[in-house]
Structure 1
Amino acid sequence: MENPQQKAKAYWKENLKYLLILLSVWFVVSFGAGILFKDFLNTFKIGGFGLGFWFAQQGAIYVFVLLIFVYVILMNKLDKKYGYNDK
């Protein structure tokens, strides 16, 4: 059986991996879609506005909220995996 320090270290390592992946997704959506790829994305329209503009104004926020829910689900699974859940 692992000692508590090894278990905690493995838990935080996996937690940081999730954070880096989710923040990278948000960065790509907000910076990439809203700034870098806006000219290409603006060729597509949503409600009369270019898709690049939409991502810069609203899409990044929606993706961020979605990523919060994904993070909660992942962390609940991680807590159960390492026995840190209170239930």
Structure 2
Amino acid sequence: MTDHTSHNAQDASKSDKGYWEANVRIILISLVIWALVSFGFGILLRPALAGISVGGTDLGFWFAQQGSIIVFLALIFFYAWRMNKLDREYGVEEE
């Protein structure tokens, strides 16, 4: 293996590592938001949100029934948008 080939392999390895670190970071952020909204707001913080009215019901109940679904759908679109952008940055986008 020549020195040039070894250097390119190291660059590719660093690029792959950076891509996967960014990918995992996006996934973890999305999971934390999802858990906070669905479990946190819908269950744990529901009594604290009881005084806030949304659509004729309290905010905690709304998050448990509607809000977590809406946030989950928004996270799906965010993840797809951000991964497409990340794919373009690292040159691994689909054709």
Q: Shared topology, TM-score over 0.5?
A: yes
Q: Which runs of 5+ in 1 are unaligned?
A: none
* Residue type of the alignment partner of 1:21: I
In 1, the alpha carbon distance for the partners of 2:63 and 2:84 equals 29
In 2, the alpha carbon distance for the partners of 1:86 and 1:46 equals 42
Relative to the length of structure 1, the TM-score reads 0.90
Output aligned runs, 1:32-71, within 5 Å.
Answer: 32-71=40-79
Moved more, 7-16 or 23-32: 7-16
Match among 69, 74, 78 for residue 82 of structure 2: 74
Is 1:24 aligned with 2:32?
A: yes
Percent identical across equivalent pairs? 47
Is 1:15 aligned with 2:23?
A: yes
Aligned residues: CA RMSD: 1.4
Q: Which runs of 5+ in 2 are unaligned?
A: 1-7
Look at both structures and tell me which one has the larger radius of gyration over its CA atoms. Answer: 2
In 2, the alpha carbon distance for the partners of 1:52 and 1:74 equals 29
* Residue type of the alignment partner of 1:14: A
Instruction: Tell me by how many angstroms 1:6 deviates.
Output: 2.8
Instruction: Tell me by how many angstroms 1:3 deviates.
Output: 3.4
- Deviation digits for residues 16-60 of structure 1 (CA, Å, limit 9, x no counterpart): 000000110110111110011101111111122111001011110
In 1, the alpha carbon distance for the partners of 2:55 and 2:71 equals 18
* Residue type of the alignment partner of 1:32: G
**3-state SS in 1 of match to 2:92:** coil
Question: Displaced runs of 4+ in structure 1, greater than 3 A?
Answer: none
Relative to the length of structure 2, the TM-score reads 0.83
